[in-house]
């Protein structure tokens, strides 16, 4: 790894932390530490008896988190994806929390570091793993995956209408020589995708799809939402920032499903006032970055923040 320093501008910083209603003595989770923007603001609002648990897959992010923990005893660091939420908190002796924040997707340092292989702006090894210490790289997967599997990943995770043609081209090309770099993949996709929305690179959707698949991003979101909600105290808050429609749809549906009364069979003689209370309360409408933030950080344009509060109702995943 080079000595270059990559910066990260935290999206919806104050909106997300404000949504948590941080209590000075509370226990909070930052499920995607990144470079610690949200974490540091949470810590500034915690008292000496508060606690903050931070998760991240990325070894570089974890190195920054451990530096912070060395300076602040209130911080506990977990080098795992947030799907390990329950196991990690149990291991720390935590049985309930006052709030959890998840900033989904990829961080600016991951995109801007050419060696990570996330961006087609650079010609670099085709890696795409958020955790470079484990798992299969994008190049390794593309070298052996079936054409149908590649098609389904690009179609479902990238919402790419040329997914079948791209998958066919990948399989044909790898028979000649392996696809090892971001530049090779981007060029191949550009040869297949002849039309695209103005300003969008032909490879955008394919790179997004492969990244999501390699890192099991949607599976992690699906796994952590019920875990986090189940750990919240009554009055505790869940705040989630999503950056593309697939993630946001999952978050929206989860919150809506658990914030509405469960339908009862027609024969059930129960008064409306006696119906079980839903376990979540949706807080406000979805929030987006303002014009000033988008102007300063164009990557904030697609961010959507959704918030829910835990009620006294019973939660069942």
Domain closes at, from 213, 232, 267: 213
82 known ligand binder: yes
CA distance 141 to 300: 30
Do 190 and 224 fall within a single domain? Answer: no
The answer to whether 110 is a known ligand-binding residue is yes
Q: Which two tokens stand for residue 252?
A: 């929206």
- Both 129 and 63 in one domain: the answer is no
| Residue ranges making up the domain that contains 163 | 116-213
- Residue 154 gets the label, from left (phi > 0), alpha (psi -120 to 50) or beta, of alpha
What local confidence, expressed as pLDDT, does residue 114 receive? 57
Residue 42's Cβ-count burial label (10 Å; 0-12, 13-18, 19+) is buried
Query: Does residue 186 carry a pLDDT above 70?
Result: yes
Question: Which of 198, 213, 228 is at the close of a domain?
Answer: 213
pLDDT in tens, 100-147: 999 997 655 555 555 665 676 778 999 999 888 889 999 999 999 999
Same domain? For 194 and 238 the reply is: no
The answer on whether 18 is annotated among ligand-binding residues is no
Ligand-binding annotation for 38, yes or no, is yes
Q: How many structural domains are present in the chain? A: 2
If one compares 317 and 92, the residue with the highest pLDDT of the two is: 92
Is 149 assigned a ligand-binding role in the annotation?
A: no
What average pLDDT is seen over the chain? 90
Can you give the CATH number for the domain in which 196 is found?
1.10.150.170
Quick one: which of 279, 233, 240, 223 has its CA closest to 95?
Answer: 233
Last residue of a domain, one of 158, 184, 213: 213
300 and 268 both lie in a single domain: yes
pLDDT for residue 96: 97
Closest among 171, 200, 187, 170 to 302, alpha carbons compared? 200
If asked whether residues 283 and 261 sit together in one domain, one would say: yes
Residue 92 and residue 16 share a domain: yes
């Amino acid at each position: 790894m080079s000595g270059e320093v990559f910066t990260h501008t935290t999206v919806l910083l104050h909106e997300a932390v404000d949504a948590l209603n941080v209590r000075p003595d509370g226990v909070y989770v930052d499920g995607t530490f990144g470079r610690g923007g949200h974490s540091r603001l949470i810590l500034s609002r915690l008292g000496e008896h508060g606690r903050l648990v931070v998760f991240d897959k990325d070894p570089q992010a974890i190195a920054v988190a451990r530096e912070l923990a060395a300076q602040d005893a209130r911080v506990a660091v977990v080098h795992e994806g947030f799907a390990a939420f329950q196991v990690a908190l149990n291991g720390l002796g935590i049985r309930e929390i006052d709030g959890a924040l998840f900033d989904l997707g990829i961080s600016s340092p991951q995109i801007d570091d050419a060696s990570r292989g996330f961006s087609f702006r650079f010609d670099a090894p085709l890696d795409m793993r958020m955790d470079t210490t484990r798992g299969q790289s994008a190049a390794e997967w593309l070298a052996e995956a079936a054409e149908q599997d590649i098609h389904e990943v690009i179609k479902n995770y990238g919402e790419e209408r040329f997914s079948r043609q791209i998958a066919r081209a990948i399989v044909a090309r790898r028979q000649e020589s392996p696809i090892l770099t971001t530049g090779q993949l981007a060029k191949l996709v550009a040869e297949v995708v002849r039309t695209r929305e103005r300003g969008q690179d032909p490879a955008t959707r394919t790179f997004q799809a492969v990244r999501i698949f390699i890192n099991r991003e949607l599976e992690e979101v699906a796994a952590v939402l019920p875990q986090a909600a189940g750990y919240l105290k009554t009055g505790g808050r869940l705040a989630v920032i999503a950056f593309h429609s697939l993630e946001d749809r999952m978050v929206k549906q989860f919150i809506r499903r658990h914030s509405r009364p469960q339908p009862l069979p027609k024969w059930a003689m129960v008064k409306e006032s006696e119906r079980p209370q839903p376990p979540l309360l949706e807080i406000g409408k979805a929030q987006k970055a303002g014009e000033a933030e988008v102007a300063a950080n164009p990557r904030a344009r697609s961010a959507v923040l959704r918030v829910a509060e835990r009620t006294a109702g019973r939660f069942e995943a």
